[in-house]
Amino acid sequence: MTATTTNRRGLTAWRNAVFAIFFLSGLSLASWVARLPEVRDETGLSTQGVGLVILSGSIASVLGLIAAPPLMARFGARTGMAGALVAVSVGLVLIGIGGSLVPSVPLIAIGLAFAGFGNGAVDVMMNVEGAEAEREIGRTLMPLMHAFFSFGTVAGAGVAAAASALDVPVVLHLSTIGAIIAVGGVVAVRFVPKRAELGDPASTDADADADADGRADAAPARPWTERLRDSLRVWSDVRLLLIGVIMLGMSFAEGSANDWLTLAAVDGHGFDPAVGAAIFTVFAVSMTTARVLGGPLVDRFGRVATLRVLAATGVVGLSLFIFGTEVWVIVVGTVLWGIGASMGFPVGMSAAADVPDRAQAAARVSAVAIIGYCAFLVGPPFIGFLGEQFGLLNALLVVLLLMVMAGLAAPAARERSRMPGATGGESDGPAASEGATGAASDRSGS
């Protein structure tokens, strides 16, 4: 078998492994959320109590985001992702035990902390790996990777609904999902190549033969403290911070819709709850569809043009949703809102990774992932605070403003092949031109 065939097969396995990790992360989140009403009833928690318990998971998620860079620097991305998913599975088991077998609010809170920390950490690490796999393959894949997270949430919600309908105990359901996530995560990372710049241990010849792409790094890893310093140094890069603005605006738009769109439709526009739920479904389908189909458009038209169009689409959609009075106007606005919010986050990840140095690319992706996910976690409570004071529809004007800022910051995401002074000229497929060239050169030298 030729080296090229082996490399192609390895790259495909790497891509599929990252797809699987995104899917498992989404599966874990939806699984416990969908059983939350039964957990609440079993423990006798009030609505405020549920909010306080969920807060433990949110705080742990932020801590996981912050901890991801030093964990990668110390243990490597492969071990880090596997460990984070095992932590998620432990959390799900604890939630199941505390939510049904031995009703215990503290145990549920501890479980949510494990699950939140693990998901926060793996969110950063899987995006680092996804950006690198995309770069090696030479095609825009990050939107599709994030679509797999959405597929995981749909699968998790569907399985949970079936389990609830069949009266499957919460502990049995969540323990089964936890086992699937732990085993799936450990298996998936075996197809992720070992990379010394991310702290993975240097491979022996036997490891390289067993590795998915046959190109495991032979060079020893630098001291983890040095890699950690490099990951912190990228925060002084103004262009990277502007990419963070893109991530901030788009994450705010997505997170706010996930938490408040249904209530805004019911309380702000006076729809009944069933219509509100249907409108949220329209948003989720629109965003997921755009992510599935969007990668080739980025390759064809470039990141800057795509982000500008998406931001403008989101602004128009939010405006129609906020100020519309007819049902069809609000539905159209919801569709455009979903499309506008769909690809800013994954495209921002690709832009952050678009540097020659692979170790620096990982640090940059980690930094913007922290910005994006913190906005995703902190944004919805902020909208809730403003909504309490001024009404939810008025609070969404903040999201509209942030999407305008994301559109204005779009030039920061320009492909290196399109920057002044870049070698190789411009191309219609910027990611493909540079990514494929870089991938070929890396593989030819391995």
pTM of the model: 0.73
Which comes out higher in pLDDT, residue 218 or 103?
Answer: 103
CA dist., res. 91 & res. 309, Å (int)? 40
Domain 3-218 CATH superfamily: MFS general substrate transporter like domains (1.20.1250.20)
Distance of CA 33 to the CA centre of its chain: 17
232-439, superfamily in CATH? MFS general substrate transporter like domains (1.20.1250.20)
pLDDT in tens, 236-279: 788 889 999 998 899 888 888 877 787 788 888 888 877 887 88
pLDDT for 199 equals 58
pLDDT of amino acid 204: 46
Where do the domains of the chain lie?
3-218, 232-439
Domains 3-218 and 232-439 in one fold: yes
How confident is the model at residue 266, as a pLDDT?
A: 83
pLDDT at 31: 86
The three-state DSSP-derived secondary structure of the chain is: CCHHHHHHHHHHHHHHHHHHHHHHHHHHHHHHHHCHHHHHHHHCCCHHHHHHHHHHHHHHHHHHHHHHHHHHHHHCHHHHHHHHHHHHHHHHHHHHHHHHHCCCHHHHHHHHHHHHHHHHHHHHHHHHHHHHHHHHHCCCCHHHHHHHHHHHHHHHHHHHHHHHHCCCCHHHHHHHHHHHHHHHHHHHHCCCCCCHHHCCCCCCHHHHHHCCCCCCCCCCCCCHHHHHHHHHHHHHCHHHHHHHHHHHHHHHHHHHHHHHHHHHHHHHCCCCHHHHHHHHHHHHHHHHHHHHHHHHHHHHHCHHHHHHHHHHHHHHHHHHHHHCCCHHHHHHHHHHHHHHHHCHHHHHHHHHCCCCCHHHHHHHHHHHHHHHHHHHHHHHHHHHHHHHHHCHHHHCHHHHHHHHHHHHCHHHHCCHHHCCCCCCCCCCCHHHHHHHHHHHHHHHCC
